[in-house]
Amino acid sequence: MARILVTEKLADSGLEAMAAAGHEVDVQLDLSPEQLLDAVKGANALVIRSSTKVIPEVLEAGRDLQVVGRAGVGLDNVDVPAATRLGVMVVNAPESNIVSAAEHAVALLLAQARNIPQAHSALVEGRWERSKWEGVELSGKTLGVVGLGRIGALVAQRMLAFGMHLVAYDPYTSPERAKRMGVELLSLDELVATADFVTIHLPKNKETVGLFGKELFAKAKPGIRIVNAARGGIVDEDALAEAIRSGVVAGAALDVFATEPTTSSPLFGLSGVVVTPHLGASTGEAQDKAGEQIAEQIVLALRGDFVPYAVNVAARGASEAVSPFLGIAEQLGRFLAGLCEGLPDQLEVEYGGTLAGEDVGILTLSVLKGVFAASTDDPVSYVNAPRIAEERGLVVREVQTTASADRVSLITVRSSDHSVVGSLMGPEEAPRFVQVEGHPVDVPPAANMLVVRNEDRPGMIGVVGTVLGDAGVSIAHMAVGQTAGTGEALMVIATDAPVELDVLGRLRSAPGITEVHQISGT
């Protein structure tokens, strides 16, 4: 059982999911920075939203942290590089609020075009001001979408229904994809010079902070209108306010600000500006999805499984073809560490068959997890496994080959002296060790295993069986292989319990036995 510290309001369904997985869910809301430093001590996971600042001091105080989860899309309030240095996985819930955020951007655009908030305020205050709040139609106008990611694409799709002409700036989107979406790709300068409306859907980073500033507004089409429901700071609020006052920009609608929460901005009070207090994800549906999605990621991370939305793992995610092999890859790493009785002198991971055509980086990380799991008490994750390898001087080599004998895909893990090969067998894709130290075998991974080298002569299976039987250890599975022309053979044995050291000693001293290795936790 792990302790999960939750410092901001999370949907009950998310809290219940983490508790149902057997963890202690410690909800402590509205903590001061000083209180957070104390509360995070001893926590294995930290779940936040947008207010909690996960700075290096917090990560240092939380020395037991394995994962930080942000129940939302952005990670502005998490120091991801610091977390990575300390081996802490950072996850978010990128799919949770995309519909809500896209709909809010559309709502802001419509509200700004028709001056809805201003007209509402005037009317409830007793003023009937039809002529003052005349708006503009969207049909036939050009909308510039800056960022065609998940949210930007949804906004583009919805605004096509309003009869708008769509242009976009996104250096990571191909012209073919844009064409299928009904969008024309332009440079950013061309976009602002062409568009009547601009909606921003970019991440906040060093390239995008202040992107919409004085220099860009000087290139804009007169009368342009700006919508930002992405991240505060991408739009320079002072520069935008000046552009509105000068008449270059006709108006703006913002849901996000450089500093949040805020009740003061140079944009407040300008008649053509619509503002909301970061409501993009503030729907019941988005909150439920965020809580449930981050709970799922936290449970996977604490279990040591592959986490789809980890943002600081040194490999891309697992494809449909790769994902089934994550378990056997980690088991192969553990098995090799057991054969080496410690850290291998070097590590080569070879992928054969259809795996050779895939991005297998995540599988190599799984092998590393297995190698180090047997040699450290510290939690080993997809995040810190490469760092541990570097610190311990373990050189990792990845090889791909299409050759795989009669099996579709094989993973071979080897050091300079030892090797083990694994695959998935049958329609159920059951994990199997199919070769150990060059000997063909067919053994399922087990929690307790022995590898025994012996002279190839009659009675050796009986010798091993007698020693284990006298110690009360049952053999659950055994595979035997011969080394042609050497007079040696090898046994791979799964036992129902760990073998005590004195029993291992008796095995090693038995006549005809040359080597015994115990492998645990596979």
3-state secondary structure 380-395: CCCCCHHHHHHHCCCC
- Poorest-confidence range of 29-43, 132-146, 211-225, 354-368? 354-368
The one catalytic residue in 70, 231, 414, 432 is: 231
* Cα 294 versus chain centre, distance: 11
The one catalytic residue in 49, 70, 165, 278 is: 278
Share of the chain above pLDDT 90, in %: 71
pLDDT at 314: 65
pLDDT at 133: 95
The whole-angstrom separation of Cα 206 and Cα 26 is: 35
Assigned architecture for domain 98-275:
3-Layer(aba) Sandwich (3.40)
The whole-angstrom separation of Cα 295 and Cα 291 is: 6
The one catalytic residue in 57, 129, 190, 260 is: 260
Higher pLDDT, 431 or 319: 431
Active site residue 278: yes
| DSSP of 144-185 | EEE--SHHHHHHHHHHHTTT-EEEEE-TTS-HHHHHHTT-EE
Smallest CA-to-CA distance from 223 within 200, 246, 201, 239 is with: 246
- Output the CA torsion sign for 166, 172, 178, 184: positive
Answer yes or no: is pLDDT of 377 > 70. no
Domain ranges in the chain are: 3-95+285-303, 98-275, 315-444, 446-522
**Helix, strand or coil for residue 366?**
helix
User: Which uninterrupted H or E stretch holds 430?
Assistant: strand 430-436
The whole-angstrom separation of Cα 7 and Cα 52 is: 7
* Cα 477 versus chain centre, distance: 37
Q: Angle at the Cα of 289 (from 149 to 158), degrees rounded to 5?
A: 40
| DSSP of 84-131 | HHTT-EEEE-TTSSHHHHHHHHHHHHHHHHHTHHHHHHHHHTT---TT
Q: For domain 446-522, is the CATH number 3.50.50.60?
A: no
Answer yes or no: is pLDDT of 378 > 70. no
- Give pLDDT tens digits for 9-57: 999 999 999 999 999 999 999 999 999 999 999 999 999 998 999 999 9
Higher pLDDT, 270 or 405: 270
What pTM value is reported for the model?
0.61
DSSP 8-state code for residue 474: P
Fold of 315-444: 60s Ribosomal Protein L30; Chain: A; (3.30.1330)
Within the chain, how many helices (H) and strands (E) appear? 17, 22
Q: Do the domains spanning 3-95+285-303 and 98-275 agree at the CATH topology level?
A: yes
- Give pLDDT tens digits for 430-485: 999 999 998 889 999 999 999 999 999 999 999 999 999 999 999 999 999 877 67
Assigned architecture for domain 3-95+285-303:
3-Layer(aba) Sandwich (3.40)
Answer yes or no: is pLDDT of 375 > 70. no
Across the beta sheet with 396-401, the strand order is 396-401, 347-353, 409-414, 419-425, 430-436, 439-443
Q: Torsions phi, psi of 9, nearest 5?
A: -60, 130
pLDDT at 252: 98
pLDDT at 99: 94
pLDDT at 381: 73
